[in-house]
Structure formats: C-alpha cells, structure tokens
C-alpha cells in the first residue's frame, strides 16, 4: 500500500456488521495503519462505530495461522491440498456425496462463497453446504420467500432517514448496527416529529433513546404484530388498491390473528394502554419502517414473526416507497452475499431454487456440472447432528467457530472430536474449533484479500487488499479452487483472480433471467479487471451496464411469486415461554462475534472486559446475589460462570448474557453451550435467544484481578476472563482454595521468579486479602489483587500503569492500593471509546451541572465521536449509573 503523503488511500469495507461501512485505509509515514470512515460511501458517509474505528489495532500477526498444518505439523500447501482432496474423494467414493459437508460463513467474501457453493452443489453433487448465517437471518430469508416469492430486501438505508416512524423490533441497533442508529438519531434531530419505537424485553441502549419502549415478554412478537394487523383493519388503514392488485391471503391472515387487546396484553406483557399508543402511532404514520434483526429471527417462530411484520406493511401498502417498508438488517458483513451465491443448504446460486427443476437445469447447464442435487442439504444444526451420528464423515469449516456459536456448543465439540476428518480454514491459529482440526489451512485476513461483500440494503461494495498475505496465507477462493482442481474438476474452476469469479457469478445471475428473478447483475457481466478494481458501491439488481442499481422493490407490486402477487401469511400466535429463568443472548457494543479480531484491540475491552449476566434486582435478591458476585447458569446442556450485573434494564424472570466470550478469553462463558438446539420449523434457524436455565450465586474461596505484560496462566482457576491491555493482559479470576502466595501469584501472572525483579506486597491475614506488584527496573510488569470478596480496585487505571516507569514512593503506594492517590483521577469504565472518556469524567460533568447529552459532550467530548455511547450517557443522566460489572 502507498504512503498517504503521495498516494490516495485504499477504499475498502469494514469487515464487521451488515451495515457495510466504507473505510479509507492509509499507511502513515511511520509504517502504521490508519483507518477512517469513507465520506463518499453511501452506507455511512464517513461515520464509523467504535469497532470500525479500532480496526487498525486488530491487524497484528499475533495468534495468526500462517502455515498449513496436518495433524498439528507444518506442511507445504501441496501436501495439505492433496490430503483434503483425497480424503473428500475417498469418502464420497465409499459413502456417497452426502457423507461430506462444508460449513461456511458470512465472513467470507462473495467470490469465496461462490466457489465453495459451486464445488459442493455442482461438482461434489450434494447440498450439504450451510453457512453460519443460518444462525443470524435464515428466518428473514424464509419470511421474504413466503411473502414475496424471493429473498428480497425491499428498501434501503435512505428509508431510515425519510421515515416518520421507525419501529425497531428485536434489534439493539445502537450497539449492533451503531452507524445506522446514528443516522436515525441525526434524522430525528432534524425532524423532531419523527418517532422511534423500540420493542425489546430489555431496556437496551436502543430503548434508552427511543420515544416509546414496549418491554415485550419473550415470545410475544407474533401476537403483537397480529394485534397491529387487526387494529389497522378495524381503523380502515388498508391500502385497498395495493391489497387488491398485488396480494393474496388477507382473510386467512386476519382470521389467524387475535383482535382482543386484553389477550394481546397477556401474550405480550405490554399494557393495553401502550399497545393502543403504538398501534395508533403506526396506523397514523404513512411513512413507517419496521427494522428487525436477531431478536426476531433467532426464535422457534422466527419466520412467523417476520411474516407477521410483513403482513402489516402489505396491508397498508407501505413497502418499496421512500420511508416505508419492512427491513431486515443482517448481522454479518456478507450474510447477504452468502444468500446471493446460494450459501444456504436449501438454495441455489443467484436466488434460484433447489426444488425448481428449471432453476436446477439452468445452473447445471451454466456450470457444465455433472449433477445438481434436487433436495435441500442439511441445515446448520442438523448438519452437526449428522456429524455426531456418523452420517457425515468429512467436514470443511471455513471462517467460523461453531464450537462457540452453535447451540449446545459442547455437543458440537464432541461431534467434531468424533468426526473422521475435519478441515478448518481460518485466520486464527487458536480457536475452539481449530483445536479439533485434522488439517488447518491459513486464510487471508481482512486487508489481505480482494473481493466483494453485500450489505443489508443490497449494496455490493469492494473489499480491497492493502497488505500482502503473511506467511503462506491465501485467499479462501484460491484454496477452494485448488482443492477442486485436485479433485479433478479443474476445467470448471479456471479462475486466476476474484474478478474472474465475480464475472462468472454475474453471468449466472443473468442466465435465463429476463427479469424473472430479483437478483440480476447483467450490467456487471462485462467488467474488466480494471472495472472490477474500480467498482463503486452499487445496489442490486444492476440489469444494464452503466445502471446505478435499484433502490427499492415492490411499490407497484411485481413480486416474484408464480402469479406476481405477494402473500399474506397466516401466523397464529403461539404460547410465550413461561419458564422461570428465560435466557436471552446477544451482543455488546465493542465486541464482534467470538472476539477473534476485536479481542486484540485493548480499547474495545475497556468498555465491558469480562462476561456478565444481567439480572433484575428482585431476582438477584431472591437468589442472594450481590453486585459483582459471580453466578453460575446451568441446565442439562452446559454450565457457565460469569459476573453478575444487577440492573432493572432486565425483565424479571429473564437473564441476558452476551455471546462473545470463547475458550481463549474465558474459562467457562460460552453461553451457547446452554441453548437447546430447537429450530424454527420453516427456516431451520436455531432459537438462540431462548434458553431455560437455573442460576445460583457462585462463592469461590477468593476473587482476583491481575494485570501482566505476559499472558496470565489461567489453568486450574475456578473462574477467569482475559482481556488485552495496551501493555499486556488483564484478568478477572477466582479460585476455590486459599489465596495464592507470592510464588503462586507470580506463576498466575505468567511471570518467572526472576531474582532481579523487585516486589511490593501486602497481606492482610485476618481480612483475607493479598496484593503483589512485580517490577522490572522501575516498571511494574505484573500486579495481582486477591480477596475473599470481589476485588475493588481501579482496573483501567491499573492496566494503564503496566510497564510505565513509576519511581516515587507515592506511586508505589498507589499501585499497591489499586487506585491513584492524591489529585489524580481514575477514568473508570470506558464509555466513549472514540475519545477515551471514562465513566468518572462523565459522572463529574453531571455532578457539575450537565443535564443533556450535548452538554456532557461539550464538557468531556464523550459522545462526540461515532455516538455509539450516547445511550449510556443518557442512562447516566437519567439513572446515574453506567454499564459496569466490577
């Protein structure tokens, strides 16, 4: 990549969420990388959230998988490719094509995804290829196909700016799609008449800033939207012309819906007064968008939830026009690309259908493939069941970590341990899944590979390389191509670069299309390599060369069903779960998926540095849980230990735990180990948002906090959670036995007992506490604090002291005390990641008279960057607390 002084920056796309923000990457004069928002990208217009803004901090080679390995030994690519091809070929020859599988990922680029899908569905002859996007938005795909006849997102981000009402349901947009949420807040500031409604069991960061929060009971979603459909019907809010000309099935949908507000109150837990307020607002607001995400999709009735929402938009004709429509936002950077290439086990490439004989023939002829399966393959959960019972004997997992992210995650681990042949392509050497691989294939990371991704509004953007691949890492499409060639399919995999793959993909989308399918890149089939390099973000379909893409679908009908009419779907509401402790899972603001990337960035760990469980104060009281205690969540499937976060943002009877913490970062916090593998019967998406658990307080012999320049040695601890700091690591921990002494604490810090090291120690035998600071020269390299009760020290301040020269006695005293002395002020938990502002500065501003978010921003700069922290600042203004665990 070029120096920023002389050459333009590289324009690429953020690799995290489905917003798909454009970024500019520059190399500074000192060789460092700088990442900023691309002001010209229509997804973000220059904005980035805290994760995107910290991208440059995640680019190091620490922990990278750099060489192919077989059975734990480094080998040449040739040997690894031959082994994978041979084992797949032999397994297929002996047991048939359905005895092998690929499990792939929304992290892959479209070109990678396309080649993998072509190899499995066209040349191996099985549909056993599914993607981790099954866990994220398969119910939206199924809901779209039931209603529209195609997996079409009808609207675009611009609708969020134009709407007068935005309903956010099952979507903590403020933390999970922060740049879209910022767009909403800016739009509302410009037009205060615009309203935001949040529907969520928890008072999330999104709900904090909404005009109306419906604190729905888990599982009440279908009843809520069925009730809305009836309300709209009763109020005469029907678009008679649209419904008559472009839809079928209204009567059945109305007949299946409950119209009794009292019954809806019972089903949803939302008061009749609030229900009526929401229904009237929706009925009276023409320009309404309903945004939904994992809270809708990850449920046993996820597809019905999607259709109950779509029903209301079809009824009012509010679809495909500016500021109107149902809008599924995807979690992953290229979940949409996976849908487009047929990465789901029940779809063919380019939005063609496996169960459509004409579509199968089109694809088979185009690929000149020996066979295209005529039945759907195994969806994610079933695929791993088939590995467990031996039906699948060889699996290739690409760019995903199912031992953390699938439900009943411990069972998934056991299944892979038993599997005869496991191949894993990854960027990371040490994940819960790479530990189980027979063959490890080093994949190129973000910034090292070229291709395209599609965001939630159907916008295709380029990801561009700005660094060479390190070690022997290679792009995924190239790895798959070489395995396909080694298996004897070379003629069909004659690609020299991602541009070749993209051109073929575009040509397949055009093949036999003639406007009959939504996904159409006819206008991009003639892209030259230079044209591919220069490709600007564009929304599909692109039916003609030079066409800028299509913003919206369906304002004038034109659905992709056999008769061209949309379908209302009857969605009878089921029973809300009534179990004592309902477990909800989700994301936090500054981490991404299983932390393989964001875990590297110290500032992203300063917000919430350890796994936690949100518990309502009344439930905490009944279980004798105090703030900062540890709690155990368990059921028949697994057990986790995490920090208690007692908050009335949580519903009574419900617990919430984030899904990010994996084996390398915590001892026992893989929350998906607790989730039963129940799936939506239509979409096959697992109900990851709904577990049933028992919980109890966990009383260890001691609690600890450690900071070290080395990776702490956590083995044998009853509880531990690691996070990166600028100079090393920090660790929360707990043990069952006596508090460690000097030797034990030194070993726990990962430090050797070097005689030249100096130590400060304090032990209170009666009170039961021990503190140790180890210096190399005048720099503290390890600090350990332990007590019989949760340790109260200034964690971020201590982490910031690591490896800094501290020479005076007052400084030493402060270190041993665990907090700055005198006039120094600790920052507290990091609230504003962009400007590095901690909770204590914000508290001081509020105590000093700041009464609004703007005023807090003016005094501290908090909230003036990407704005992801605004809801937390508001929470502090309203309630005087920040989201802190210990």
Paired sense of beta strands 691-692 and 582-586, if any: antiparallel
Backbone phi, psi, residue 361, to 5°: -65, -40
Q: How far is the CB of 21 from ligand SF4 (least distance, A)?
A: 3
* CB of 611 closer than 8 Å to CB of 594: no
- Kindly state whether residue 17 participates in binding ligand SF4, applying the rule CB under 6 A: yes
Backbone phi, psi, residue 10, to 5°: -85, 130
Q: Which residue is nearest to ligand SF4 (CB)?
A: 52
Nearest partner of 144 among 688, 686, 683, judged by Cα = 683
Q: Which stretch binds ligand SF4 (CB under 6 A): 18-26, 166-174, 502-510, 562-570?
A: 18-26
- Kindly state whether residue 136 participates in binding ligand SF4, applying the rule CB under 6 A: no
Nearer to ligand SF4, 119 or 460 (CB): 460
- Kindly state whether residue 179 participates in binding ligand SF4, applying the rule CB under 6 A: yes
Q: How far is the CB of 432 from ligand SF4 (least distance, A)?
A: 23
Beta bridge partners of 365: none
Q: Which stretch binds ligand SF4 (CB under 6 A): 9-17, 66-74, 163-171, 483-491?
A: 9-17
For 560-629, where are the E strands, in sequence order? 566-567, 582-586, 612-615
Q: Which stretch binds ligand SF4 (CB under 6 A): 17-25, 417-425, 481-489, 746-754?
A: 17-25
* CB of 265 closer than 8 Å to CB of 271: yes
The residue assigned the tokens 């500054």 is: 590
Distances in Å between the Cα of 843 and the Cα atoms of 800, 831, 839 are 20, 11, 6
**Quick one: which H or E segment has residue 224?**
helix 221-234
Q: How far is the CB of 175 from ligand SF4 (least distance, A)?
A: 10
Q: How far is the CB of 372 from ligand SF4 (least distance, A)?
A: 34
Q: Which stretch binds ligand SF4 (CB under 6 A): 19-27, 78-86, 282-290, 373-381?
A: 19-27
Q: How far is the CB of 11 from ligand SF4 (least distance, A)?
A: 14
Residue from 9, 42, 52, 790 binding ligand SF4 (CB under 6 A): 52
Paired sense of beta strands 10-13 and 22-27, if any: antiparallel
Nearer to ligand SF4, 183 or 449 (CB): 183
* CB of 185 closer than 8 Å to CB of 307: no
Nearer to ligand SF4, 832 or 846 (CB): 832
Nearer to ligand SF4, 13 or 307 (CB): 13
Nearer to ligand SF4, 183 or 565 (CB): 183
Q: How far is the CB of 18 from ligand SF4 (least distance, A)?
A: 7
Nearer to ligand SF4, 303 or 334 (CB): 334
The residue assigned the tokens 């439930």 is: 619
Q: Which stretch binds ligand SF4 (CB under 6 A): 48-56, 62-70, 468-476, 750-758?
A: 48-56
Coil, strand or helix at 641: strand
Nearer to ligand SF4, 525 or 598 (CB): 598
Burial class (CB within 10 angstroms; exposed 0-12, middle 13-18, buried 19+) of 754:
exposed
Burial class (CB within 10 angstroms; exposed 0-12, middle 13-18, buried 19+) of 676:
middle
Distances in Å between the Cα of 699 and the Cα atoms of 42, 522, 643, 788, 815 are 51, 63, 12, 9, 27
Residue from 10, 11, 12, 14 binding ligand SF4 (CB under 6 A): 14
Nearer to ligand SF4, 481 or 589 (CB): 589
Structure-block tokens of residue 46? 């220059």
Q: How far is the CB of 41 from ligand SF4 (least distance, A)?
A: 10
Residue ranges of alpha helices (H) inside 250-401 are 250-256, 261-268, 272-283, 294-297, 302-316, 335-341, 357-367, 380-388
Q: How far is the CB of 446 from ligand SF4 (least distance, A)?
A: 11
x/- track of binding to ligand SF4 for residues 27-46 (CB under 6 A) = -----------------x--
Nearer to ligand SF4, 21 or 674 (CB): 21
Q: Which residues, including other chains, have CB under 8 Å from residue 636's CB and lie 6 or more apart?
A: none
C-alpha–C-alpha distance, residues 769 and 484, integer Å: 61
Residue from 19, 85, 324, 383 binding ligand SF4 (CB under 6 A): 19
Q: How far is the CB of 378 from ligand SF4 (least distance, A)?
A: 30
Nearest partner of 567 among 286, 146, 280, judged by Cα = 146
Largest CA distance in the chain: 86
Using DSSP, how many helices (H) and how many strands (E) does the chain show?
30, 35
Coil, strand or helix at 423: strand
Residue from 9, 10, 11, 16 binding ligand SF4 (CB under 6 A): 16
Residue from 178, 735, 818, 867 binding ligand SF4 (CB under 6 A): 178
Range 403-430 burial, b when 16+ CB lie within 10 A, else e: bbbbbbbebbbebbeebebbbbbbbbbe
Nearer to ligand SF4, 121 or 589 (CB): 589
Is it true that the peptide bond before 838 is cis, omega within 30 degrees of 0? no
x/- track of binding to ligand SF4 for residues 426-465 (CB under 6 A) = ----------------------------------------
Paired sense of beta strands 100-104 and 394-398, if any: parallel
Q: How far is the CB of 477 from ligand SF4 (least distance, A)?
A: 22
x/- track of binding to ligand SF4 for residues 373-412 (CB under 6 A) = ----------------------------------------
Q: How far is the CB of 16 from ligand SF4 (least distance, A)?
A: 3
Residue from 10, 21, 124, 487 binding ligand SF4 (CB under 6 A): 21
Q: How far is the CB of 14 from ligand SF4 (least distance, A)?
A: 3
Residue from 10, 11, 12, 20 binding ligand SF4 (CB under 6 A): 20
Q: How far is the CB of 52 from ligand SF4 (least distance, A)?
A: 2
Nearer to ligand SF4, 333 or 818 (CB): 333
Nearer to ligand SF4, 55 or 814 (CB): 55
Structure-block tokens of residue 718? 């009853």
- The site for ligand SF4, by CB under 6 A, has a size of 14
Q: How far is the CB of 205 from ligand SF4 (least distance, A)?
A: 14
Written as one string, the DSSP assignment of 752-820 is: ---TT-EEEEEEETTTTEEEEEEEETTEEEEEEEEESS---S-HHHHHHHTTS---SHHHHHHHHHTS-
Nearer to ligand SF4, 456 or 650 (CB): 456
Backbone phi, psi, residue 239, to 5°: -90, 90
Q: Could you give the angle at the alpha carbon of 185 between the alpha carbons of 179 and 191, nearest 5°?
A: 140
Q: How far is the CB of 48 from ligand SF4 (least distance, A)?
A: 4
Q: How far is the CB of 184 from ligand SF4 (least distance, A)?
A: 13
Nearest partner of 253 among 235, 271, 273, 227, judged by Cα = 227
Q: How far is the CB of 867 from ligand SF4 (least distance, A)?
A: 11
Structure-block tokens of residue 702? 């001691």
C-alpha–C-alpha distance, residues 730 and 722, integer Å: 6
Q: How far is the CB of 333 from ligand SF4 (least distance, A)?
A: 7
Nearer to ligand SF4, 178 or 820 (CB): 178
x/- track of binding to ligand SF4 for residues 138-177 (CB under 6 A) = ---------------------------------------x
Residues forming contacts to ligand SF4 in the complex (CB under 6 A) are 14, 16-17, 19-21, 44, 48-49, 51-52, 177-179
């Amino acid at each position: 990549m070029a120096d920023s002084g002389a050459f333009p920056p590289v324009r690429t796309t953020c690799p995290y969420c489905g917003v798909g923000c454009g970024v500019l990457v520059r190399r500074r004069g000192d060789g460092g990388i700088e990442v900023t928002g691309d002001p010209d990208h229509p997804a973000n217009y220059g904005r980035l959230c805290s994760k995107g803004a910290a991208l440059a901090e995640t680019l190091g080679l620490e922990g990278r998988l750099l060489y192919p390995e077989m059975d734990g030994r480094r080998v040449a690519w040739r040997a690894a490719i031959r082994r994978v091809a041979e084992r797949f070929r032999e397994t297929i020859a002996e047991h048939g094509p359905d005895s092998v599988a690929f499990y792939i990922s929304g992290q892959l680029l479209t070109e990678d995804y396309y080649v993998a899908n072509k190899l499995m569905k066209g040349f191996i002859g099985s549909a056993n290829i599914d993607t981790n996007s099954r866990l994220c938005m398969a119910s939206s795909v199924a809901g779209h196909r039931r209603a529209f006849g195609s997996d079409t997102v009808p609207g675009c981000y611009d609708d969020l700016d134009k709407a007068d009402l935005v309903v956010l349901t099952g979507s903590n947009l403020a933390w999970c799609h922060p740049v879209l949420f910022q767009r909403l807040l800016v739009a509302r500031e410009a037009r205060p008449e615009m309203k935001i409604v949040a529907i969520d069991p928890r008072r999330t960061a999104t709900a904090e800033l909404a005009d109306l929060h419906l604190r729905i009971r888990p599982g009440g979603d279908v009843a809520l939207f069925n009730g809305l459909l009836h309300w709209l019907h009763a109020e005469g809010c029907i678009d008679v012309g649209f419904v008559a000309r472009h839809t079928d099935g209204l009567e059945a949908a109305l007949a299946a819906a409950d119209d009794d507000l009292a019954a809806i109150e019972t089903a949803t837990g939302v008061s009749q007064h609030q229900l009526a307020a929401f229904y009237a607002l929706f009925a009276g607001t023409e320009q309404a968008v309903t945004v939904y995400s994992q809270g809708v999709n990850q449920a046993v009735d996820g597809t019905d939830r999607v259709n109950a929402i779509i029903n209301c938009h079809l009824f009012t004709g509010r679809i495909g026009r500016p500021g109107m429509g149902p809008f599924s936002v995807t979690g992953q950077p290229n979940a949409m690309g996976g849908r487009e290439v047929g990465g789901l086990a029940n779809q063919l490439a380019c939005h063609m259908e496996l169960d459509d004989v004409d579509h199968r023939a089109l694809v088979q002829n185009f690929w000149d493939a020996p066979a295209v399966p005529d039945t759907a393959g195994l969806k994610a959960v079933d695929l791993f069941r088939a590995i467990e019972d031996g039906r699948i004997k060889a699996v290739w997992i690409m760019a995903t970590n199912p031992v953390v992210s699938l439900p009943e995650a411990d069972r998934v681990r056991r299944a892979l341990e038993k599997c005869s042949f496991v191949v894993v392509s990854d960027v990371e050497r040490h994940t819960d899944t790479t530990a189980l691989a027979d063959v490890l294939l080093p994949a190129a990371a973000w910034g090292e590979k070229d291709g395209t991704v599609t965001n939630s509004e159907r916008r295709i953007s380029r990801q561009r390389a700005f660094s060479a691949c390190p070690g022997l890492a290679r792009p995924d499409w190239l790895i798959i191509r070489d395995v396909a060639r080694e298996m004897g399919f070379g003629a069909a995999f004659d690609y020299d670069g991602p541009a070749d793959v993209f051109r073929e993909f575009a040509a397949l989308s055009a093949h036999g299309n003639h406007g009959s399918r939504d996904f159409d890149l006819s206008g991009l089939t003639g892209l030259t390599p230079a044209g591919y390099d220069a490709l600007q973000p564009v929304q599909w379909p692109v039916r003609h060369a030079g066409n800028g893409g299509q913003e919206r679908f369906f304002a004038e009908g034109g659905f992709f069903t056999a008769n061209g009419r949309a379908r209302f779907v009857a969605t009878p509401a089921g029973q809300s779960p009534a179990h004592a402790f309902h477990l909800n899972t989700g994301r936090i603001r500054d981490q991404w998926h299983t932390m393989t990337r964001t875990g590297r960035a110290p500032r992203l760990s300063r917000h919430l540095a350890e796994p936690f469980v949100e518990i309502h104060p009344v439930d905490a009281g009944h279980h004798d849980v105090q703030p900062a205690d540890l709690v155990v969540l368990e059921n028949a499937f697994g057990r986790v230990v995490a920090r208690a976060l007692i908050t009335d943002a949580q519903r009574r009877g419900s617990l919430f735990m984030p899904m990010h913490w994996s084996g390398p970062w915590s001892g026992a916090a893989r929350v998906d180990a607790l989730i039963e593998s129940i799936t939506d019967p239509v979409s096959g998406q697992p109900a990851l948002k709904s577990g049933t658990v028992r919980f109890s307080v966990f009383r260890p012999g001691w609690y600890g906090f450690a900071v070290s320049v080395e990776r702490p040695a956590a083995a044998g601890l009853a509880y531990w959670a690691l996070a990166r700091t600028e100079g090393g690591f920090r660790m929360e921990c707990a043990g069952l036995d006596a508090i460690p002494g000097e030797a034990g604490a030194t070993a726990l810090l990962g430090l050797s007992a070097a005689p030249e090291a100096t130590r400060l120690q304090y032990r209170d035998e009666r009170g039961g506490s021990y503190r140790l600071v180890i210096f190399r020269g005048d720099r503290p390299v390890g600090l350990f604090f332990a007590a019989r009760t949760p340790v109260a020290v200034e964690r971020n301040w201590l982490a910031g002291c690591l490896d800094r020269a501290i020479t005076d006695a007052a400084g030493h005293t402060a270190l041993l005390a665990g907090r700055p002395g005198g006039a120094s002020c600790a920052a507290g938990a990091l609230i504003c990641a962009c400007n590095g502002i901690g909770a204590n500065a914000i508290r001081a501003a509020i105590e000093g008279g700041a009464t609004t978010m703007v005023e807090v921003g003016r005094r501290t700069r908090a909230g003036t960057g990407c704005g992801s922290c605004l809801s937390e600042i508001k929470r502090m203004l309203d309630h005087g607390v920040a989201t802190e665990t210990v």
